[in-house]
Copies of this chain bind each other. A is one copy, B any other.
Amino acid sequence: MSDAVSPLATPFPALPAIAGVTPRIARAGYKDWGRCDLTYVALAEGTAAAGVFTKNVCCSSEVELGREQVKAGRGRALIVNAGNSNAFTGYRGREAVEAIMAQVAGHLGCAQSEVFVSSTGVIGVPLPGDKARAGVAAALTAEPCSWEDAARTIGTTDTFPKGAGASAIVDGRPIEIAAIIKGSGMIAPDMATMLGYIFTDAAVAPAFLQQCLSAANRRTFSCITVDSDTSTSDTVLAFATGQAGNAPLASFDDPGADAFAAALEDVCRQLSHLVVKDGEGAQKFIAVSVAGAVSDESARKVGLAIANSPLVKTAIAGEDANWGRIVMAVGKAGEPADRDRLSIGFGGTWAAREGQPLADYDETPVAAHLKGREVTIEVDLGLGEGRATVWTCDLTHGYISINADYRS
């Protein structure tokens, strides 16, 4: 299923080592496969932690625990299991996570609450304790690995490993950010999910790290969609080791805080785009830019209504400038809109303005634009100053093949 690499795949970038962060991988054998499927990232003492999690009510124990852990804001280790999401497994699932946390905390001599765990894969099967225990033991003593190896190991149905990095000057010192992510559908065939991990050597107070991550999340991860389905395990965690030596950032008043927040958001945007580019069956990467809404949040909702519309997504798959379907999607979004002020374009060419098709509309440049791998849709609601961009992929036979021509 993940044999064919997405046509939108990009090479894994050169990512810096992050002082105080050491990734390692091992094979727990959660599925009958030869690959590594357990990732362990050791974090130096004093590392700040922040996270954003799925809003799905039926979330996994990992997510429930993670929400509590980020309140304390400290992390010493991350464990990621691939091949079993441990979701919908009741108290046995929770016990499996707590056993991993205890094992790692015992090894590091840290508090159990400082060990973060994520799991992704098949649901309804409690994580097997013996495999987890042996896998963790192997990972704790393994040689350090590359970011690319770690990115491959957290993946499930992903067709390529995904990472992003950025740097900034904070308090006169260079700081680095390295990050990896996995995800291919909001839910992939066995309920694979989006899991992202961001590491920096900057010194950042936990509350401010959470503030920056939450803000970036609203404009990046919360603005992508593959199929409108929300996973039970979605998690993005950020860890800041503080080893760059800058004066710790605690608010936007601190020097370099804006640069750090911008670098973090840049990494989040890169990661979120990579997930869309590995969307199940994706052949085209689509950016939907909405302007003229009554607020930014209203613009985001209109954009998501367009990006989630099966009819819009199939039209783009068919390279069809079917702007009527975009009118429909705007109208169903439940946000303020006025049919007679609405304008719609593709790749910078207006097809309809203020509620009517353009008399001199020339589809030639639009048709050429739609043949490309990257497509833009522009919508102007003509009501206010609100704007947002959301990203998605097209809906193709590949999506149906991956999700229907498959028996669990």
Residues of A within 8 A of B (CB): 55-59, 87-90, 92, 122-125, 185, 187, 190-191, 227-232, 308-311, 314-315, 317-325, 327-333, 336-340, 342, 352, 355-357, 394-397, 399-401, 403-408
Contacts and interface: CB of A to CB of B under 8 A. Distances in A.
Contacts of A125: 357
Contact of A404 (B232, B324, B396): B396
Contacts of A122: 324
Given A191-B325, A230-B332, A232-B331, A185 B339 contact: no
A231 B330 CA distance: 11
A58 B327 contact: yes
Question: Copies of this chain, how many?
Answer: 2
A125 B332 CA distance: 21
A191 B342 CA distance: 18
A328 B124 contact: no
B123 A403 contact: no
A355 to B, nearest CB: 5
A333 to B, nearest CB: 8
Contacts of A191: 324-325, 328
A61 to B, nearest CB: 10
A317 B187 contact: no
A279 to B, nearest CB: 12
Contact of A356 (B90, B315, B352): B90
Given A58-B331, A230-B331, A408-B322, A403 B357 contact: no
B187 A327 contact: no
A403 B57 contact: no
A232 B396 contact: no
Contacts of A322: 408
B87 A311 contact: no
A154 B399 CA distance: 33
A198 to B, nearest CB: 25
B90 A228 contact: no
Given A327-B232, A328-B191, A407 B58 contact: no
Contact of A124 (B123, B324, B394, B407): B324
26 contacts: A55-B332, A56-B328, A56-B332, A57-B333, A58-B328, A58-B330, A59-B331, A87-B327, A92-B356, A122-B324, A123-B324, A124-B356, A124-B357, A227-B310, A229-B325, A232-B327, A232-B328, A310-B403, A314-B403, A318-B404, A318-B405, A318-B406, A320-B404, A395-B404, A397-B397, A399-B400
